[in-house]
A and B are shown apart, each in its own frame.
Chain A
Amino acid sequence: DIQMTQSPSSLSASIGDRVTITCRASQGINNNLAWFQQKPGKAPKSLIYATSNLQSGVPSKFSGSGSGTDFTLTISSLQPEDFATYYCQQYNNFPLTFGGGTKVEIK
């Protein structure tokens, strides 16, 4: 199975900060990498697929990059509605696997 490792597991940031979350795959995944946002008590929301493609309706403050085994999610200017837990996921191989999550909290 492909292991997905996210870092950090949590971070504290202020409104307006630029935030970067990293995700590392245990082997190459052909850029078949997605990101999800989950707020407490809510279902996950799809943000990005294929490393850098925004899902419909997702604001451009979110961006994704990377290749090979190393990927990043960047939020350009953190807003109150962005405080949540973020998950990466590889969909290149079965079983589909998720990272452990990064909780973004208010500083």
Chain B
Amino acid sequence: EVQLVESGGGLVQPGGSLTLSCAASGFTFSDHYMEWVRQAPGKGLEWVGRCRNKANSYTPEYAASVKGRFIISRDDSTNSLYLQMSSLKTDDTAVYYCVRDGLTSPRYFEVWGRGTLVTVSS
């Protein structure tokens, strides 16, 4: 069974840092592009960023709202995806979802994790 399990969420002060993890199982993680998507309380979905696979040099893409503050990375040896968040703002408060892409181009979203809540507040 394909599973994505996010962890690492919690309460952090404005200006602080936090790293989220996504543990993948049930599929060949190294083949797939992976994404982070977030959802502020009571709001819609917002794409955060993408991490391509090794064949595409793990090249990332970021939303303008997080570029320069967030870093997406992955460890194919442990089937893990990461989101390093720094200089956090109250607007970053959201549930963060890890998403697996399909294998054909252009890559589309296939499988979602359950999400982890990040609260940025003093």
Q: How many A-B residue pairs lie within 8 Å, measured between CB atoms?
A: 56
Given A92-B106, A94-B61, A95-B63, A87-B113 contact (CB < 8 Å): no
The size class of the interface chain A forms with chain B is: 20 to 34
Indicate which residue in B64, B107, B113 contacts A43 across the interface (CB closer than 8 Å).
B113
Known A43-B97, A44-B112, A46-B112; contact A91-B107, beta-carbon cutoff 8 A: yes
| Interface SS of chain B | strand
Q: Which residues of A13-58 have CB atoms within 8 Å of chain B's CB atoms?
A: 32, 34, 36, 38, 42-46, 49-50, 55
**B15-23, B40-48, B79-87: which lies at the interface:** B40-48
Asked whether, in the complex, the Cβ of A34 is within 8 Å of the Cβ of B109, the reply is: yes
Task: Contacts A45-B112, A94-B61, A95-B63 given; indicate if A36 touches B106 (C-beta within 8 A).
Answer: no
CB contact between B114 and one of A38, A43, A46, A96 (< 8 Å): that residue = A43
Q: Is the interface of A mostly helix, strand, loop or mixed?
A: loop
The residues of B that contact A36 with a CB separation of less than 8 Å are 45, 109
CB-defined contacts of B113 to chain A, threshold 8 Å: 43
A69 within 8 A of B: no
Question: Ordered nearest first, which 3 A-B pairs have the shortest CB separation?
Answer: A49-B108, A96-B47, A43-B112
- A residues adjacent to B (C-beta < 8 A): 32, 34, 36, 38, 42-46, 49-50, 55, 87, 89, 91-92, 94-101
Pairs across A and B, CB under 8 Å, 14 listed: A32-B108, A36-B45, A36-B109, A38-B45, A42-B114, A43-B97, A46-B111, A89-B45, A94-B61, A95-B64, A98-B46, A98-B47, A99-B44, A100-B44
